[in-house]
Amino acid sequence: MHEYTGQPFNDLLKENNLVLVQYYADWCNPCQMLKPILEELSTELTNIKFYRVDIEEYRDLAVNANVQSIPTVVLFKDGEEVGREKGFKPKHLMETWIKKTI
């Protein structure tokens, strides 16, 4: 799982067929609970690039993505949003959602 560091977001989406983005904040407990689940899934679902975007640091990305609550997880395929989940989900539900969405 990669931490977003300010590279052009559209380039990141164009360079990878499948991208999963977790929008989070350090003070958000459900976000912190979701982090190890997504890290584990990133090692299992290697065809997907996993990124975390800190909404405090990259507020413009969160606004552009219409993130209204955190954690929000957005799945992109070929640069287009194909799915979105809000709130904490256990691993089996997150994995099922990802596989069903792609």
Residues in Cβ contact with 59 at an 8 Å cutoff, skipping those fewer than 6 apart: none
Q: What's the mean per-residue pLDDT of the chain?
A: 95
Question: Hey, what are 85's tokens?
Answer: 């989940």
Q: Residue 85: which pLDDT band, with cuts at 50, 70 and 90?
A: very high
In the predicted structure, residue 74 carries a pLDDT above the cut 90? yes
Contacts of 2 (CB under 8 A, 6+ apart): 49, 50, 51, 52
For the chain, list the domains and their CATH numbers: 8-96 (3.40.30.10)
Q: Is 28 a catalytic residue?
A: yes
Q: What is the pLDDT of residues 26-73, one digit of tens each?
A: 999 999 999 999 999 999 999 999 999 999 999 999 999 999 999 999
Cβ atoms 71, 24 nearer than 8 A: yes
Whole-prediction pTM:
0.93
Q: Percent of the chain having pLDDT more than 70?
A: 100
- Catalytic residue at 89? no
The one catalytic residue in 13, 20, 21, 31 is: 31
